Amino acid sequence: MSASDPQAPGGVIRLPPGSHVVEDADEEIMELYMALSSVALPGGNSGGLGYLDPTAGELDLTIELVPPSSGEEVKTKGRGKKRAAAKAVSVDLVVVQDPAALRGRVGDTGSVLWRSSLHLAKHVLQQHHFPPAAPDAPLLDRAALTSARVLELGAGTGVLASLLAPLCAAYTATDRRENLKLVRRNVEANGKDGAAEVAELDWLDVAAARKKKGDEEYASPLAGDTDLVIAVDCIYNESLVGPLVDTLAALCADGAVAWVVVELRSSDVLTHFLDTWLNDRAGWTIVRLADGAMGSWDGAGPRWVGWVGWVTGAGGA
């Protein structure tokens, strides 16, 4: 993006060079899937990220964060003084899952850990502990994040909330009532350095409230306490596209920025989502993050997309 291109308000999330404004849903999705056709995962796996392990009741995980130039000495400002390069950081995590809910509750996909949440958390933590050298910059501004109030939609197992909450001023993990017990259990078990808050938020309730308002905009009670709304791998059910967009609009009505991350599965569902978001009556600016902005995995190119959006008013640019 050039200097004249829009930047996300608030300064929490940066739009790196190569990001661009999305104006047409069909063109955007066609371009994404044409690029996807040339991506091959290691071992010939074409199934994408998906679940980490949908059968285990509990997962013991370790995230290894490695400095870019491990083992080298780094000069400081003091004359002749040196310090050892930063050491690798290990983050241990215990994740309780509910495989029975995945099998038994129709439409319940949040009761087990998705690789997308784990990978995104690792990327953010890597950049937090070992910020990339100039001219590159972390996707999430480290200083701005410390005073930011973050809200996550569809928190699932609460892994993203557990790992990112200590980096923020406040972090609220939301989900439907039936999944809150699982979210709370994992957040409390892993959030030793600043646990996230857990709150019920049903998109269908928000959609009904917004519809009741008619042409008036409905702002969620949580909107005034939120700077960044994160939704990771929440787009899979076409019937929930409208309620999700309604929820994003209600939460971002007071200036919050939305960051939507999704694995490229059904092109039809993603086209429907993006078209609904672009044509929402609130009026949005939506930007696709540049390739590689959210990292890659196992040396493969990205099989997901990150969109950042904020309300600019009906007809706004």
Domains annotated on the chain, with CATH: 20-41+141-311 (3.40.50.150)
- Span 10-29, average pLDDT: 95
Letter string b/e over residues 220-249, b meaning 16 or more CB atoms within 10 A of that residue's CB: bebbeebbbbbbbbbbbeeebbbbbbbbbb
* Strand partners for 197: 172
**Among 20-34, 39-53, 96-110, 188-202, whose mean pLDDT is lowest?**
39-53
Angle in degrees, CA 280, 284, 26, rounded to 5: 70
**pLDDT per residue as tens digits for the range 31-84:** 999 888 766 554 444 445 688 888 899 999 999 999 987 444 434 344 555 555
